[in-house]
Each structure stands twice: as C-alpha cells, then as structure tokens.
Amino acid sequence: MSQFPEIQFIKSVAAPSQFPPDSGWEVAVAGRSNAGKSSAINALLARKGLARTSRTPGRTQLYNYFQLGPEQRLVDLPGYGHAAVNAATRATWGPLGEALRQRQSFAAMLLVVDVRRGVGELDLALLDWAGRPGEHVHVLLAKSDKLPKGQALAALRQAQQVLEGGASVQLFSAHKGTGLEEARALLRRWMISGSGKK
Ligand code: GDP
C-alpha cells in the first residue's frame, strides 16, 4: 500500500512564476545524476515510475512537484554533476533555485548520494545552498546493497565525518528496502512539523 495514498503529480516548474502556492510544507529531493534519486523517490512513495530520470542529458531541467497530502509537497530537483547537463543546470539553477530557497514552505531537503562515491564537494555545495538547519537535511547513502556490509558501514561513518553534523545520514537501498522505514518516518515528520520557521 502506498505510504502517501493521496499522492499525485502536480506540475513541472521551469520558471519562478510557475511555482505552486507557497503554503504548507515542501521537501526538496536532490542528488548528482545517477545517484539513485528517482529510484529512492519511487521507493519512498511506493509508486513505481512516478519519478523518472531524464534520459536526455542537456535537456532543460525542471523541478517536478508531487503532492503527498493536503499542503504537503515533494519537489524533485534536477540531477547535478553530469558534465553534459551542467550548462542547462546552470542556466536554470539561478532564478529557480533562488525562488525555491525563498519559499516559506521549503522545509527540508533529502540529498541522495551514491554510497560508493560518498559525499563530495558538489553535494556539500548543495547543502550549503539549501541553508536548512541540520535536523532538516538528511542524506541517503543510496545503493547500499552494492557494498558488503562492513564497507557500507565504513562509508556511513565517513559521511558522518564529512557532514560534521550539518545533516543526518543513513544507508539506503531502493532495491532491497534498506533504511526505507527510517527515511519515510523522517519525511512524514517533516511534512507534519515543517521547518519550525512558522
Ligand atoms: P537518478 O539519476 O539519481 O535518478 O538515478 P536512478 O534512480 O535512475 O538510478 C541510477 C542507476 O542506479 C539505475 O541503473 C538504477 O537501477 C540504479 N540503482 C538505483 N537505486 C539502486 C539500489 O538501491 N541498488 C542498486 N543496486 N542499484 C540502484
């Protein structure tokens, strides 16, 4: 059964004028291209095929909004770090990103990182950009099934060190369901309590 029974796609946003009304709460989901972001969203929301990876690098990047419940939204941000999409990302990131950041409803961010790659400079830059307090930023170390348990735990400790308390972090596997409940619980909590700004 879906964890968020009322879930539906709202719209793709390509310009600041297109954002949904700034009320309630929204959680942004970000990650490098190929980190496992779409798979993570689909697993978290228990809806296969809801979030799709753009198969066309260089295409205009959009913010994809989903409604999880009344006044509860998830926004799927464009993947970053892929050489071919950098120009497109740069072109849209500025005004769109700035508009998102200023929204009262922008409560928290989920950052998806490939466990084998670890938290890198671009990921840290994005966390910095989001400017949310540590309890409202959470990192999923995705595809954890790709590493033996000992190595996955070592990657978790390494990520905790790199993040220096600026975000919480956990192991996650969309394919095996590892960490799914932990991540869902946090998402639900954020959706209910928001960022504490109001
Ligand atoms: P995105 O570009 O960040 O949205 O990444 P995708 O969700 O499209 O995943 C990129 C690749 O990683 C795909 O080939 C997925 O099948 C694979 N992948 C995603 N999640 C997992 C996982 O939990 N385990 C494994 N083994 N592979 C995964």
Burial 166-193 (b: 16+ CB within 10 A, else e): bbebbbbbbeeebbbeebbebbeebbee
The answer to whether position 2 is within a domain reads no
Task: Determine if ligand 1 sits within 6 Å of the CB of residue 53.
Answer: yes
Least confident of 14-18, 84-88, 138-142, 170-174: 84-88
**Closest listed residue to residue 172, CA positions, set 123, 117, 114:** 114
Kindly state whether residue 3 falls inside one of the protein's structural domains. Answer: no
Cβ(67) – ligand 1 distance below 6 Å: no
Beta-carbon contacts of residue 43 (< 8 Å; ≥ 6 apart): 174, 177, 180
pLDDT of the residue at 198 = 44
179 in contact with ligand 1, CB cutoff 6 A: no
Confidence of residue 18 (pLDDT cuts 50, 70, 90): very high
pLDDT at 62: 85
Instruction: Give yes or no for residue 140 CB within 6 A of ligand 1.
Output: no
Q: Which domain holds residue 62?
A: 8-193
- Flag whether pLDDT at 173 surpasses 50: yes
- Distance between Cα 39 and ligand 1 center (Å): 6
How many structural domains is the chain composed of?
Answer: 1
19 in a domain, yes or no?
yes
162 occurs within a structural domain: yes
Residue 81 lies in a domain: yes
Q: Is residue 198 part of a domain?
A: no
Closest Cα to atom 25, ligand 1: which residue?
143
Which of 110, 143, 172 for mutating ligand 1's site (highest number of atoms within 8 Å of CB)?
Answer: 143
- The reply to whether 61 falls in a domain is yes
Give me the CATH number covering residue 130. 3.40.50.300
* Percent of all residues in the chain with a pLDDT value above 90, rounded to a whole number: 64
Which amino acid, 48? K
Residue 139 predicted with pLDDT over 80: yes
Sheet holding 106-114, edge to edge: 8-13, 63-69, 72-76, 25-31, 106-114, 137-142, 168-171
pLDDT digits (tens, 9 = 90+) for 80-116: 876 555 555 555 467 888 899 999 999 999 999 999 9
Residue 32 DSSP class: B
Question: For the CA atoms of the chain, what is the radius of gyration?
Answer: 16
User: Is residue 1 one of the residues assigned to a domain?
Assistant: no
Long-range contacts of 33-36 (CB under 8 A, 24+ apart): 33/57, 33/79, 33/80, 33/81, 33/82, 33/85, 34/79, 34/82, 34/114, 35/79, 35/112, 35/113, 35/114, 35/117, 35/142, 36/112, 36/114, 36/140, 36/142, 36/143, 36/172, 36/174
pLDDT digits (tens, 9 = 90+) for 48-87: 777 775 555 545 578 999 999 999 999 999 888 765 555 5
The reply to whether ligand 1 has any atom less than 6 angstroms from the CB of 36 is: yes
78 lines ligand 1 (CB under 6 A): no
